Structure 1
Amino acid sequence: MKKFLQRGICLSLGVLFVNALSAQVLPVVRGSILDNHKKPLAGASVSLLNAKDSSAVTVVATDVNAKFLFKEVREGSYIVLAESVGYKKYYSAVVIVSKQDVAVPVIELQELTGELGSVTVTASKQVVEQKLDKTVVNVDAMISSAGANALEVLEKTPGVIVDENGAISFKGKSSVLVMIDDKPTYLSASDLAAYLRSLPAAQLDKIELMDNPPARYDAAGNGGVINIKTKKSKAKGFNGSLSASYGQSYYARFTENLNLNYYTGKTNLFVSIGSNQQKTRRELTIDRDYYNGSGQLYSMFRQNTYFNPESSNPNAKIGFDFYATPKTTWGIVYTGSVSDRSELRPTYSNLYNASGVLDSSIRADNRSSSRFSKHGVNLNYTHKFDSTGKVLNFDMDYINYTSNQDQSFSNGTYNPAGGLKGVQDITAQVPSNISIYAAKADLSKPLPGKAKIEAGLKTSYVTSDNEARYFDVVNGVRTVNYNSTNHFIYKENINAAYLSFNKEIRRFSIQAGLRLENTNGNGHQLGNAYKPDSAFTKQYTNLFPTVYLSYKLDSSGNNNLFFAFGRRIDRPNYQDLNPFVFIIDKFTSFAGNPFLRPQFSNDFKVSINHKNKLTLSAQYIHTSDVQIETIDQANGVFVSRNGNIGNWDYFLLSLETNLRPASWWTFNSYTDFFNYQKYKGSVPSGKIETATTYVFAQLNNQFTLGKGWSAELGGFYCSPRQQAQFDKIAFGQVNGGVQKKFWSNKASVRLNFRDLFNTNTSTGNITNVPNVAIRYANRFYNQTFTLSFAYSFGKQPGTEQKRKTGSADSEAGRAGN
């Protein structure tokens, strides 16, 4: 039956492909641009403006033959604006579009007078741009992005929270699908945080935020999609940029980055090389009070741990595009990074009796050194069948992650007088390897009557090989600890197909999609001298519908009403399925759960938008079999593992603004002024039902001060909230910076600050652990001051056209710790 269903869906897709190919064309606006010497001008920026108010409808770039094309243009009156570096702007006469294609007369751009070397045409990008299907954050427009890394930039994007462990949530939702250049990172929360910390902000172009993505995106991630776009230029000739920064927090940090691009019109070669070196500090305090069955205090535990990780993170991206014809492009991209990391993690633990008298102390010297590397190759192909917008994209990806980590745990126990009572030494070797193979094909075809159909197929195969070798050390002799030593191999294959249709009917727009995903997973826990082999198999097939409706409340399109629905899935992280226990310290461990099931979410959203300046939204999500961290204890050791605790209900009222109060002042904000979350289910200690309401606000101000000076001031605040067993206290921070541009705006110096008042501290209580009261506090030492320099050289880039898809886009955030 399953095979019959899959074949039926494939056959239906094939019929739709054939019908799409036979469809008629839609009205388009086309033209070409020459310079004042009558030569084709490739890479020029061409904007289609509403004749009524000069608002931008869409922007494209001229191709290698200097031609431009606006697709699916509505009936109305427009003006064409043409721009290119070193040339005067050109505004066309009014262009009337009805039901026929329109050919704009050949446009000739005139060179600016004077020395071209001294002329620079710049465009001031807004920090945040509101699109119909996403929010776009332009990283370079953030003054405080200088000298930062990708994780710190994410922390400043609307609706995003980065917690104390580097886990990313978006608009109150975890399990976010994080992608880089339309491809997933395939990493767990901790490994993803480490990778994003290694990626300099100078390599980033923009960040796309989608809380309810359409069917062409993988269904993984109930928190939506965050797509990080890196820089890539298509300005003809040679150009590039370099930057360097020095930052001072508790320790110093350095970043360097170089971007190079050479575009001939037939080929495009691009290279990005970057590195950062940093040492950070974090202090974790845990207090536990133990009670007997009658509720009387009988002992207390106080622990302070100091994390001092030091890392060096070089990375590179090299790509080559070959424009075989004006309609066909082949490309290859290599991305690689290496992170060498060492950490000293001293821990001081004191145990007291009920009267507060010291019973014993433990000093733990925990050390680790590791190397984490990523290598990926992408082969891509794009073919534009004709001028109507029918496009075929094809991608093949290979990605490999390797990690080798050496750990040592030395615990010394002391009596109240300071005398040594005993020593426990443990060492560990923790290698892992993840290989991903993926292929994807997407077809997009316009249909008559302002409609379009999209369809695609995708398959991926992942192998995750994780090993942990633990040794007890006595008098310098190592003995294998078979209770903790383990070797876990997980293999997974996901096959997917999707179909999407959208159409405009006067003031209405509708887009509906359906995605099918078939998952096949096999886990194998290898045995040892004490533990037998174990294995499990998981197979399931699911459908994921999406629906988007919009209605223009007025004829000018200034006020729009939107509705969206989507169903999504979160599969367990590979490492979360590993049943063995991993030691964090003598009193704390992490354990996997081979019985973890995927969680499913149904997402409903209604919003109203005014001129893309104000967006008021209401959103409701119901998640079943929700996966979340749980805390249990056994023989005085606290064990953390992910489990399916039950249901999660989420209701949100939010307001987004994109305002310009004055010509020199831009104000952006995102506010959850009512965020309600409810968990109902079971944790290791029994039933749990928690509900919380909280407020989250994020602000950003950009000031243009004149004579090359500009400034930024912003920050965020999150009120107290409860998340299953974690009762969290309010936190927030203030960020900002000042910038000075010079050398015809080709160079800049920035001074910025992060967490000015050192207020970003995570504190709270862990609840629902029988007979134990637990308090924790995470101090991050985030307060950082950074001085940076950046310089751009060569012909500066114009508007570019980028690939929208990649093949590796399903198992983001699942590679395991």
Structure 2
Amino acid sequence: MPSLGMKMLRLILCALLLSTFAQGQVGGRLVIADSSAVPYASVLLVKSTDSMLVRSALSDKKGNFSMAAAPYGTYLIKIISMGYIPYTSPTIVIDSAQRFYDAGTIMLKVANHQLSEVVIRSTKPLIAQQLGGLVVNPQNSLMTRGSSVLQVLSRSPGVVINAQNNAISLNGKSGVMVMLDGKLLRLPADHVATLLQDMRADDIDKIELLTTPPAKYDADGNAGLINIITQKSKQPGTSGSLTASAGYGRGEKASANISLNHNSGKLSLHASYSYNRDRSYGLLLAKGTENAPIIGGQTTLDYHSQSKPLSNYNSFSGGFGYRASDRTMIGGNIDYSIGTYQNNSHNFGSYALTDSSLNYSSFITGTSHTYYFHPSVYLEHAISKYQKLNLDLDYFDHTSNSPTQVQSNFSDSLFKPTQRNLANSNIKVGVAALDYSNSFSKQLKLESGLKGTYTYTQSVAGIENLVGAEWVPVGAGTSNDLATREAIGAAYVDLNWQLDSLTTVFGGARFEYSRNTTAHSLNAQYFVDRSLGKLFPSVFITRKLNPTDELQLSYTERISRPSFADLASYVAYNDPVSVFTGNPALKPTITDNLKLAYNTHDFLFSLLYSRDTNPILGTQVMPGPTSGLIYLTPENADWQNNLVLQTTIPVKATNWWRMNYGFIGGYHQYKISYYSELLQKSYYSYSFNFTESFKPTAHYAIELSGYYNSPSYSGDSRSNGIAIFNLDVKKELSNQNGSFKLSISDLFRGASYQNHIGQLVTDNFNSNVETNYQAESHNFPIIKLSYSRSFGSNTKKAQHNNSGTKAEQNRL
């Protein structure tokens, strides 16, 4: 596929370049009655048949204008300039006999009256097309003020947040990475969700949904990138904001955030504190049959798992920026967070064997502690008016201690009635990044950079049985002490070439070399020593068809490295016959993307073909070191193909009623060879999302939103369709005293995620199991009331967020 995509782009580029040989030029001069020049007037060359824009230019300070490379045909010249009556020429002809048309001197007439005042109001569309994907402008939504970033993101087209594990997917693919101001957040999925829940959407400028990012971005993320860009202001003064919320579903919810910012011109300071508390609920039901040798062979199971976890999360962020000179800015940031997660689960059920029936009941308790520390420093220097240099140095440290204890009445297994589980990990990351940009001319711009990342990971995990008064390891395959090293070096270059007033070619390449090694391991099968050096090209060709229509063709190649959690050697108890574990032998996923995008006015359309080699599938049923024990672990499939159509349709019914509809659907195909028989599956799936926004009065706003995901397949399992609806009602207080918002999530209690495992082929344990995970809102909608207020000089925090290790955080 890569060679085919590149061949197609080469042919298109050649066609574009060769077409210039059948094109001509147009030129002339603009004056008024006294022969004075008319500078900086807009000159348009349009087709005489339908007025489609072909070329455009500005007259220079002497009134001269020139437009190159216009295809042969008949045209009109239109002149527009403030203070002058618009001018349209007679029909002109450009052909082989007249390749250069000289319009001569065109005299413009001065308008009889001048505008006393010009007021320009510009409203960005809620969703727009940009290089590499879509951009969401949340400030154009009625519900942004007082909302969290996570709420805004969940309403964005193609974005789905899994209620069970907080994993974020984009356009139906799970290998998406989340960025903050251009740098990746390498945090566990639940930590990313908590971080975004604590961030105020008022501080967000835009959200980029990049399914085919250019080379300047890290190549990680086969599904693409979600880049959240914060607002920045250089206004002097002191400002701040306060947000608090409280709610209830099956358990209490509470959050609070306060931020302070000060900008004196040369020195800017910022600090913020966030707290989040969430007592949640989940119910997992499983029925079916499987071969469980650890308890005697083929069994019919009926399994229930009821969890009532409690999470508490505290985070602090602070930093400064100092303008040492007109050209130089230095600064630093410190982010620190601490979180606890109390596990409180009751698992019960039965296993019916051929000649007996085993009843099972267990209680799993324990408190996990996580710590996150991230200091960074940066330097921004303008070498000249056109050249800029940025340097980022970062350090990142993440520690997780997750002990649990199990009390069970089940003794007919590898595990005893009383056991404990230890899963500790520590990840240290150092990053250095250097970026350089140069605008050679208005038509040619360069961006380039170097980046180095070093990661050291250590994890200790194991399950122990209480035998008498002593804790005894269960045995091989249920414990490990693993340490790994990863080094990544990267270099990129991007060129932006404006061929003419309507055509842009943006091309680049990113080379990354990585090496992964195992420092030590208790299990020989987890020893790894591998390296990968690869060039990731990207090409974008954009053509402006007329003032409202644009066409873009692109090819990109990306990589999705396994997350640190997927690679870790942890072993976590699931039930008497299975454990969760990582897979240090996982390979990275290589993805090729070929995309055609078209937008007309605010309507957006795109068609994306992608080919994944070694796609990573989570939680597969596999054998392991302990014979007869089921290991639930991530694995690599052979390949996956996707052909996806995406549309975004905004509708403005009235001044107080706006709608936005999105559709994503396509054809998918994948191949898996790690089962006892070959699996190759093809299927169609789609998703639909909508937003209905009402503003009946100046101080009230109502928004109804929702989505539907059709049935889909992953590995040997089929997921049923699901529909979710949300309702928000907001009240703006007078005199800028803030706003209240009432949010109801999952209004009709649709969060029931049903799967059928073993429907396609026979896996390693002859599984044929139907599962149903019922999230908290399936029992009762989650209702929250929040209050938000800004104070001070309304200055947004002037902070630098281009910290290098944020490119290393999302893999945890």
Q: Tell me the TM-score normalized by structure 2.
A: 0.79
**Rounded Cα–Cα distance in structure 1 between residues aligned with 2:59 and 2:222:** 41
**2:495 equivalent to 1:501:** yes
Q: 1:649 and 1:510 mapped to 2: Cα distance?
A: 27
**Alignment map for 1:513-524 (pairs within 5 Å):** 513-524=508-519
Aligned length: 696
Match of 1:621 in 2: 610
Matched residue, 2:308? 308
Residue aligned with 1:705, SS: coil
The answer to whether the 8 A contact 1:281-1:781 is kept is: yes
Residue 810 of structure 1 deviates from its aligned partner by: 4.5
Structure 1 match to 2:692? 701
In structure 1, the partner of 2:593 is 603
Give the distance between the partners of 2:337 and 2:447, measured in 1 at CA. Answer: 34
User: 2:136 — aligned with what?
Assistant: 137
Q: Does 1:466 align with 2:459?
A: yes
- One-letter code aligned to 1:342: Q
Match of residue 480, structure 2, among 479, 486, 501: 486
Separation of aligned partners in 1, 2:257 and 2:798: 23
Q: Does 1:642 align with 2:634?
A: yes
Q: Which moved more, 1:449-458 or 1:467-476?
A: 467-476
Residue by residue over 1:296-316, the C-alpha shift from the partner in whole angstroms, topping out at 9 and shown as x without a partner, is: x97410111011110111112
How much does 1:780 deviate?
A: 0.4
Whole-angstrom CA distance in 1 between matches of 2:427 and 2:158: 31
In structure 1, the residue matched to 2:208 is: 208
Which blocks of at least 5 consecutive residues in structure 1 are unaligned? 1-48, 54-73, 79-91, 97-109, 111-120
Q: Does residue 541 of the first structure (1) align with residue 564 of the second (2)?
A: no
Q: Secondary structure at the match of 1:707?
A: coil
Question: CA, structure 1 residues 522+724, in 2 after alignment: closer, same or farther (shift >3 Å)?
Answer: same
Q: Does 2:409 match 1:396? A: no
| Aligned with residue 668 of structure 2, among 654, 677, 681 | 677
Is the CA contact 2:460–2:570 (under 8 Å) kept in the aligned structure 1? no
Could you tell me whether the CA contact under 8 Å between 2:237 and 2:795 is conserved in 1? no
Amino acid at match of 1:285: L
Give distance in 2, aligned partners of 1:298 and 1:785: 44
Q: CA deviation at 1:524?
A: 3.2
Distance 2:376 2:383 in 1: 23
Per-residue CA deviation, residues 93-136 of structure 1 (Å, 9 max, x unaligned), is 6799xxxxxxxxxxxxx9xxxxxxxxxx9998765454444433
| 1:36 match | none
Structure 1 residues 599 and 423, CA gap change in structure 2 (3 angstroms) = closer
Q: For residue 200 of structure 1, report the CA deviation from its aligned partner.
A: 6.5
Question: What SS class does the counterpart of residue 616 from structure 1 fall into?
Answer: strand
Which digits, 9 at most, give the CA deviation of each residue in 1:510-533, with x for residues without a partner? 000011101011123433xxx669
With over 3 angstroms needed to count, the CA separation of the structure-2 counterparts of 1:461 and 1:210, relative to structure 1, is same
Residue in 2 that maps onto 1:17: none
Task: Specify the SS of the correspondent of 2:566.
Answer: helix
Structure-1 residue corresponding to 2:572: 582
The answer to whether structure 1 residue 688 and structure 2 residue 684 are counterparts is no
Look up the equivalent residue of 1:623 and give its one-letter code. D
SS at match of 2:307: strand
Farther off after superposition, 337-346 or 658-667? 658-667
Contact 1:200 1:276 in 2 (8 A): no
**2:358 match:** 360
Q: Deviations over 1:321-360 (max 9, x none)?
A: 1112222211211112111110101101112367xx9822
Counterpart contact for 2:461–2:479, Cα < 8 Å: yes
- Deviations 1:162-181, CA, capped at 9 Å, x for gaps: 22322221112221121223
Distance 2:698 2:200 in 1: 28
Tell me the equivalent position of 2:560. 570
Offset of residue 194 of structure 1? 5.8
Matched, 1:594 2:593: no
SS in 1 for 2:334: strand
Report how far residue 745 of structure 1 moved: 3.4
Instruction: Compare CA radii of gyration and give the structure with the larger one.
Output: 2
1:135 counterpart SS class: strand
Distance 1:394 1:249 in 2: 46
Name the residue aligned to 1:781: 776
**C-alpha contact 1:143 1:752 (8 A) present in aligned 2:** no
SS of the aligned residue for 1:234 comes to coil
Q: CA deviation at 1:142?
A: 5.4
* Structure 1 residues 234-313: aligned runs within 5 Å: 234-290=234-290, 299-313=299-313
Superposed, 1:407-426 pairs within 5 Å as 407-413=404-410, 424-426=417-419
Give the corresponding residue for 2:322: 322
1:605 partner letter: K
Query: 1:676: Cα distance to partner?
Result: 1.3
In structure 1, the partner of 2:175 is: 175
Partner in structure 2 of residue 373 of structure 1: 371
Instruction: Give the alignment's TM-score, normalised by structure 1.
Output: 0.79
Q: 250-259 or 481-490: which moved more? A: 481-490
The verdict on how the C-alpha distance between 1:177 and 1:250 changes in structure 2, with shifts beyond 3 A counting, is: same
Instruction: Give the conservation status (yes or no) of the 8 Å contact 1:234–1:268.
Output: no
Give the letter for the 1:515 counterpart. R
C-alpha distance in structure 1 between counterparts of 2:182 and 2:341, whole Å: 28
Contact 2:482 2:519 in 1 (8 A): yes
Aligned counterpart, 1:83: none
Shift in Å at residue 588 of structure 1? 2.4
Change (3 A) 1:636 1:51: farther
Q: CA deviation at 1:744?
A: 2.6
**Aligned mates of 2:581, 2:697 — CA distance in 1:** 57
Deviates more, 1:166-175 or 1:452-461: 166-175
Pair 1:445-2:438 in alignment: yes
Rate the CA distance shift 1:428–1:140 in 2: closer, same or farther, 3 A. farther
Distance 1:124 1:616, change over 3 A: closer
Q: Which residue of 1 aligns with 2:67?
A: none
Report which stretch shifted further, 447-456 or 272-281: 447-456
Q: Is the 8 A contact 1:350 1:358 kept in 2?
A: no
The answer to whether the 8 Å contact 1:147/1:246 transfers is no
**2-structure distance, mates of 1:773, 1:810:** 40
Task: State how far apart, in whole Å, the 2-side matches of 1:400 and 1:128 are.
Answer: 36
The Cα RMSD (Å) is 3.5
Once residues 143 and 409 of structure 1 are traced to their aligned partners in structure 2, the CA distance between those partners, rounded to angstroms, is 48
* Kept in 1: contact 2:232–2:798 (CA 8 A): no
Give the equivalent residue in structure 1 for 2:732. 741
Q: Secondary structure, in 3 states, of the residue corresponding to 1:596?
A: coil
Shift of 1:722: 1.1
Q: CA distance change for structure 1 residues 581 and 372 in 2, over 3 Å: closer, same or farther? A: closer
Q: What is residue 50 of structure 2 aligned with on the other side?
A: none
Q: Is the 8 A contact 1:708 1:742 kept in 2?
A: yes
Q: 1:664 to 1:347 in 2, by over 3 A?
A: same
Query: Quick check: 305-314 or 123-132, which moved more?
Result: 123-132
Identify which range, 342-351 or 444-453, moves more after superposition. 444-453
Distance between the aligned counterparts of 2:682 and 2:526, measured in 1? 38
Distance across 2 between alignment mates of 1:51 and 1:705:
41
**Could you tell me how far apart the structure 1 residues matched to 2:221 and 2:564 are?**
15
| Aligned residue type for 1:371 | H
- Does the CA-based 8 Å contact 1:668-1:701 persist in structure 2? yes
**Hey, what's the Cα distance between the residues in 2 that align with 1:241 and 1:396?**
29
**Segment of structure 1 superposing worse, 726-735 or 177-186:** 177-186
- Identity among equivalent positions (%) equals 25
Matching residue's letter, 1:165:
N
SS at match of 1:437: strand
Structure 1 residues 623 and 532, CA gap change in structure 2 (3 angstroms)? closer
Q: Tell whether the 8 Å contact from 2:292 to 2:299 is kept in structure 1 after alignment.
A: no
Greater alpha carbon shift after TM alignment, 231-240 vs 774-783: 231-240
> What SS does structure 1 have at the residue aligned with 2:584?
coil
Cα deviation, residue 441, structure 1: 1.0
